[in-house]
Amino acid sequence: MRRIELADAAFLMAEKRETPMHVGGVGLYTLPKGVSAQEFVSALSLDDLGPDDFREPFGEYVTTGRAGPLGPMYWEKDKTIDIDYHVRHSALPSPGRYRELFALVSRLHSTLLDRNRPLWEMHLIEGLQNHQFAVYSKMHHAAIDGVASMQLTRSISSTDPNFRTSDLPMSMKAYERHLAAVGASRARRVVPEEKELRAVADILKQQFDSSAQILGALRRFGGAFFGRSGNLAVPWHNVPKTSINTRVDGARRFVAQSWEFDRVQAVCKAINGTVNDVVLAMCSGALRRYLEGHHELPKHSLKAMAPVSLREKGDFSAGNAVGFITADLATNIADPEKRLRTIQESMRAGKDLLKGLSRREAMLFMQLTQMPALLTSMLGLAAQFPAFSTVISNVPGPREQLYWNGARMDGIYPASIVFDGFAMNITLVSYARNLDFGIIACRRSLPEVQRMIDYLEDALVELEVVAGLRPGGAKKAAAKKPVSKKPTSKKRAATAKVKAKAKSKVKTKPRTKPKPKPKAKPKVKLAARRKVQPKQKTGKK
């Protein structure tokens, strides 16, 4: 047995039926000419795979020691692994659109992984139009993070369309071949040294102005964290309550879309920003529109957990090596340029916090500052005390065009996790010439989440206008505020009444200061004028 590290075990401890803690995604492929989906699947060699043919921990299941559920967790090798259970073949109903694909993925992503078996599933999905097929895979977050999942994709893919392999991405053969291809060896985890603990303690004391004995708190895996410095955003500080920050049930809704990387890169160059700055601004604009459409845009800005990779260069192990920065999304700012600059300042402050720390120190710091959020989730308090508003994760993926046994990979659309207090997760992968977005949300808490796709496009157009890339009419179109539903008859009547009143006031405003009149008379005169001048009442018609 191998003991499961604390950062990985936290995802197991936080899991329940309503909050599955697996991550995954959809790989979209175009089949080679003359090859059917059935022929492609039959070419995979699956029958002769045994427990020793899988890399850690994909041939292992979760178990506990002598202390039982209250003690540490371990990975135990599954000596009777059932490959037919883990690799499944599905077909979409006609007409085989992306809509049917996303509906199937939504259902598959809603079910828990069986802890009595290795924590992964792989679904080969045929029936798509345009000679395409999809692969939906899900793996427990205790076993893998975003960067490691991209390594799995690379392990069975090639830039050569003629390359062939019968291996699964979770197999030891694929893992060893990928290590050899990149000239790497297996990485080993290290334990932070005493001087590194002191460096983290100094950073925490400086940032959070705490008079407590920080070093002792770090060793006890606890402490208090309060945001008190400049543009730095921190968990729980001025985090507003919206429909995103509610309790969730087990049903999920998945939607996805791609945007050309060149469009985002052009905005980056024009504003002197990073891809992550523009992505966060896109998500901020989209979330602002979504909340406006549901009449719940809060006074305070939304805050996002923005995960950052802490994986050492050349580390190709499984497990998690990830921390986070709290990003102020500035959703309370209407001006898109000011909103973007506020986001940039927030991210800069978060990165400055980590300056001077080694990668190992940063990993320890990040993991410990996430513990309170995981604790509130396990105690069922995350919806009452949300640490963040949402999660926005940018995962670097392969920039080359990839093929799997001759099938061209057309997109990688990630599907992550949501839990109490975080009913929406936006994750994107940079692949080839696109940014592939995958949005997962609680089906009950956030209806019409598919509108986020349109709002992301609107937000990007808005940023292109700010950058001077869309002059004239494009600016006018980008400034239009979309709504999620048609206004009711009462709302239309109230709006028309307000507009007519404002129009009448403008038209009837005297040039000279009028004499004082009784309070009731202005209404009488206004009504009389409306009767005499009906054209002024109708407004723009």
The CB-side HSE value for 178 (13 A sphere, CA atoms) comes to 26
Least confident of 255-264, 345-354, 414-423, 426-435: 345-354
Q: Does residue 317 contact residue 148 with C-beta atoms inside 8 Å? A: yes
Q: Does residue 64 contact residue 100 with C-beta atoms inside 8 Å? A: no
The pLDDT value recorded for residue 18 is: 92
For residue 313, name the pLDDT band (cuts at 50, 70, 90). low
Is residue 295 annotated as a catalytic residue, yes or no? Answer: no
User: Whole-angstrom Cα distance, residue 153 to residue 402?
Assistant: 9
pLDDT at 478 over 50: no
Q: Which residue has the higher pLDDT, 290 or 195?
A: 290
Whether this prediction's pTM lies above 0.85 is answered by no
Which tokens hold the place of 312? 């050492």
Which option is the CATH number for 194-399+414-478: 3.40.50.150, 3.40.190.10, 3.30.559.30, 3.40.50.720? 3.30.559.30
Q: Give the position of tokens 């800069």.
A: 348
Backbone angles phi, psi at 434, to 5 degrees: -130, 165
pLDDT at 318 over 70: no
Least confident of 119-128, 227-236, 323-332, 366-375: 227-236
Beta strands in 421-478 (DSSP E): 424-431, 434-442
Backbone angles phi, psi at 500, to 5 degrees: -65, -40
Q: Which of 22, 86, 141, 178 is catalytic?
A: 141
pLDDT at 237 over 70: no
Instruction: With H, G, I as helix, E, B as strand and everything else as coil, classify residue 360.
Output: helix
Q: Which helix (H) or strand (E) holds 139?
A: strand 132-140
User: Whole-angstrom Cα distance, residue 180 to residue 316?
Assistant: 11
For residue 360, name the pLDDT band (cuts at 50, 70, 90). low
Q: What is the mean pLDDT of residues 278-283?
A: 95
Q: Give the position of tokens 């989906």.
A: 37
User: pLDDT tens across 117-159, in order?
Assistant: 999 999 999 999 999 999 999 999 999 877 788 888 888 999 9
Q: Which helix (H) or strand (E) holds 395?
A: strand 390-396
Q: Indicate the pairing of strand 303-309 with strand 322-328.
A: antiparallel
Which tokens hold the place of 176? 């060893």
- Which residues make beta-bridge pairs with 28? 134, 411
Class of domain 2-182: alpha beta
For residue 236, name the pLDDT band (cuts at 50, 70, 90). low
User: pLDDT tens across 201-218, in order?
Assistant: 565 554 443 333 333 333
The pLDDT value recorded for residue 185 is: 58
Sorted by where each begins, the domain ranges of the chain are: 2-182, 194-399+414-478, 489-538
For residue 380, name the pLDDT band (cuts at 50, 70, 90). low
